[in-house]
Amino acid sequence: MMRREETKNALKIQCEKYPELQVRDLFKFLYQSSFGCEHLVSDVESAKAYIQEEAESAGTVSEDFIEELDGPYCRVHLNYLKTGLCADTFAKLFVLSAEHVEDGTERLEEKLSVLLDMTRDGELPFSVAEVEAAIKQWEKEGYPACHHSEGFRKAYAPAYRLMKKEYVRFLPLFGKIDSILQQGTVTLAIEGGSGSGKTTLADLLCRVYECTVFHMDDFFLRPEQRTPERFAEPGGNVDRERFLSEVLLPLHKGESVEYRRFDCGTFTVLPPEKKEPSRLNVIEGAYSMHPELEEYYNLSVFLDISPEVQKARIIKRNSTELVNRFFTEWIPMEQKYISCMNVKERCDSIISISW
C-alpha cells in the first residue's frame, strides 16, 4: 500500500509541476522510474559527446537541478555542469546508472495500475477512455521507451539525464573534485561512522576516476601498540604514525607509496606493496581526519549516517558476535573521536546518509 501511495503522490506532483504534460509524458515518467536509462547508453565517449552538445544549448532551469522519479532514479538537468561538475564525470555516472533492471516490466505495470485507478477516481486531468486505450496500445507494443510529447518539449525544453539516487547525493562532492583536478591533484579523506558507506563511495570514485585508494582498516594497531593508554586516546586505535610515514608523506611528495597492510588474522604487518599516486588519491576510513593527518588532504568529506540506518546496516551485514562488538566497542570509540576532535565540523563537506 505504501508503494502505491508513493506512486500516487509522484504522479500528482508531475501534473502540478507540468500542467502541459500529456498521457505520454506520464508514461515516460513511469518508464524511467521503472527501467532507468538502460536503453539509452552505448559507451561513455558517445554519452559524453551528446551531453556536452546538449548542455551547450540547454535552457536555464528556474527550480532545482534534480528531480526525483518514482523509484531509484533522478532526472539531473544538464545545467548541473555549470556548478563545476565536468561532462566526463556526468557521463560516467550516467553510464553506471544504466544497469539492467530485471523486474522493470513488473514495476511499470504496477505503476500503470495506479495511474489508471487515479484516472478513474478523477485525480488526473485525463479521460478514462484515453488512458485505457493508451495503456492497452503501449502494452501491445511491449512497453517500448517513449519520448516526451511535443507539447511538453515546447513548454519545458527538457534537457536532463537519468542517474541513480545513490549517486546523485554525491554530485556536490564530485563537482568539488573536478574543480580541484583542473588545477592539480586531489588527496581526499572519506570520514564517517561504521556503516556509513565510506568503502562504497571509494569504490564508486574508483569506477569514475580510476583513482588510487588507501584504507585506514589496513592500519590497525600492532600488538605492542595496544595499551590501555593508547586506547584511551580519542582516535588512538589506528596506527596513524605508520599511515603518515608510509602513505601520506610519499603522496604529499608525489612519490610511489610502499606500505604494509595489517593482517587481522595473524596480527602481523604484511610485506610492503607498491602503489603509484594518481590525480585523485582517496583515503577511506574512520580516523582518516585525525588532526595529525589533516594537513595532507586538500579535500575531505564526512558521511553522516543516521543511528537508525547505521544499526540496520550493521545488523544486516554482520554476525551477532560482531554486531555486539560494533555497538559496545567500536562505535563508542568512533563517537568519542568524532565528538572530541570535531571531525564532522572540520570536513569540507557533510553528506547525510539517511537511507
Treating both helix axes as pointing N-terminal to C-terminal, what angle do 198-209 and 171-181 enclose, rounded to 10 degrees?
Answer: 50
* CB atoms inside a 10 Å sphere around CB 185: 14
Q: Report yes or no: 44 and 92 within 8 Å, Cβ to Cβ.
A: yes
| Average pLDDT, rounded, for the chain | 94
pTM confidence score: 0.92
Cα→Cα distances 147→23, 40, 108, 153, Å: 11, 12, 16, 9
What is the model's pLDDT at position 41? 66
pLDDT in tens, 168-217: 999 999 999 999 999 999 999 999 999 999 999 999 999 999 999 999 99
Q: Which of 320, 85, 326 is nearest to 196 (CA)?
A: 326
Q: Report yes or no: 104 and 145 within 8 Å, Cβ to Cβ.
A: no
User: How buried is residue 320: exposed, middle or buried, by Cβ count under 10 Å (0-12/13-18/19+)?
Assistant: exposed
CATH superfamily, domain at 171-353: P-loop containing nucleotide triphosphate hydrolases (3.40.50.300)
The more confidently predicted of residues 103 and 278 is 278
Question: Where do the domains of the chain lie?
Answer: 2-167, 171-353
- % of the chain residues with pLDDT over 70: 97
What residues have CB less than 8 Å from 18, skipping those under 6 apart? 25, 152, 155, 156
What residues have CB less than 8 Å from 136, skipping those under 6 apart? none
Q: Report yes or no: 276 and 208 within 8 Å, Cβ to Cβ.
A: no
pLDDT in tens, 70-119: 999 999 999 999 889 999 999 999 999 987 778 899 999 999 999 999 99
What is the model's pLDDT at position 1? 57
**311 has pLDDT over 80:** yes
Assigned C-alpha cell, 289? 581526519
Phi, psi of 29 (to 5 degrees): -60, -45
User: How buried is residue 227: exposed, middle or buried, by Cβ count under 10 Å (0-12/13-18/19+)?
Assistant: exposed
Q: From CA 262, how far away is CA 285, in angstroms rounded?
A: 14
Q: From CA 252, how far away is CA 248, in angstroms rounded?
A: 6
Which parts of 194-237 fold into alpha helices (H)?
198-209, 228-232
